[in-house]
């Protein structure tokens, strides 16, 4: 049975609830009803993220705003973000299914796609954080770690509450993912700082 017609007001309310109360939200998330709803959610999140990223172009903060393709950069960036979100939804559904299978959870593909679509609410937030890069790359790195750590908390709740995965296994998975992410985030920050320190040298 398919979901009811897409309701934008419900979409906004659900998006806010998923951020404010992941436990409650994922505890009530439906695991069936068709792919229409998750696809629309992913497309909206992708479009919003694309629009926010385009602000870089408008503000002259990105090289995409200059040159031959400057006039078309906006539509191309937004379109690319939307397509990327759509592709990411279905690839993410496979990854989520693998996570769920590892933790003895629901391995129904649709259920995992629905969870993935809900987690994509973080796309616009990440885009907003990227806008701060011109002010402080370090601040962006710190905020990115915070957002992604919160994303793992949402993933934790999604696996347990929606996909009924084994809690002890989910804890291990989330901790491993957190360690990996923090390691690469700090590595990227250190490399960025190192490269910046070389700007004043001539070789």
What are 85-120's pLDDT values in tens digits?
999 999 999 999 999 999 999 999 999 999 999 999
- The closest alpha carbon to 160, from 42, 38, 24, belongs to 24
Q: Residue 195: exposed, middle, or buried by beta-carbon count in 10 A (0-12, 13-18, 19+)?
A: exposed
Q: Residue 149: exposed, middle, or buried by beta-carbon count in 10 A (0-12, 13-18, 19+)?
A: middle
- The closest alpha carbon to 118, from 166, 171, 158, 81, belongs to 158
DSSP H or E stretch at residue 183:
helix 167-197
First-to-final CA distance of the chain = 66
- Quote the CA–CA distance of 124 and 64 in Å, as a whole number: 19
Question: Residue 92, Cβ neighbours under 10 Å: how many?
Answer: 19
What per-residue confidence (pLDDT) applies to 185?
77
What per-residue confidence (pLDDT) applies to 32?
92
- What is the mean pLDDT of the segment spanning 152-162? 97
3-class state of residue 147 by DSSP: helix
Say yes or no to pLDDT of 67 above 50.
no
More confidently predicted of 110 and 186? 110
The whole-angstrom distance between residue 161's C-alpha and the CA centroid of its chain comes to 19
- Quote the CA–CA distance of 128 and 64 in Å, as a whole number: 17
Tell me the pLDDT band of 200, cut-offs 50, 70 and 90: low
Say yes or no to pLDDT of 63 above 90.
no
- Quote the CA–CA distance of 105 and 102 in Å, as a whole number: 8
CA distances from 33 to 3, 4, 9, 187, 190 (A): 5, 9, 19, 42, 46
- Quote the CA–CA distance of 49 and 114 in Å, as a whole number: 19
- Domain coordinates in residue numbering, the chain: 8-197
């Amino acid at each position: 049975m398919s979901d009811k017609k897409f309701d934008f007001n419900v979409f906004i309310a659900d998006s806010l609830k998923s951020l404010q109360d992941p436990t409650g939200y994922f505890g009530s998330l439906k695991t069936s009803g068709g792919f229409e709803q998750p696809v629309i959610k992913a497309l909206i999140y992708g479009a919003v993220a694309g629009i926010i990223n385009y602000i870089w172009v408008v503000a002259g903060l990105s090289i995409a705003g200059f040159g031959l393709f400057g006039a078309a950069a906006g539509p191309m960036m937004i379109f690319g973000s939307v397509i990327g979100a759509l592709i990411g939804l279905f690839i993410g559904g496979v990854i989520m299914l693998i996570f769920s299978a590892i933790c003895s959870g629901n391995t129904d593909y649709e259920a995992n796609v629905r969870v993935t679509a809900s987690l994509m609410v973080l796309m616009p937030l990440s885009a907003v954080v990227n806008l701060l890069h011109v002010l402080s790359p370090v601040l962006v790195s710190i905020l990115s770690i915070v957002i992604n750590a919160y994303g793992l908390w949402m993933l934790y709740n999604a696996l347990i509450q929606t996909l009924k995965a084994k809690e002890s296994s989910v804890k291990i998975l989330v901790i491993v993912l957190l360690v990996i992410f923090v390691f690469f985030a700090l590595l990227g920050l250190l490399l960025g700082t190192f490269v910046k320190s070389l700007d004043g040298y001539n070789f």
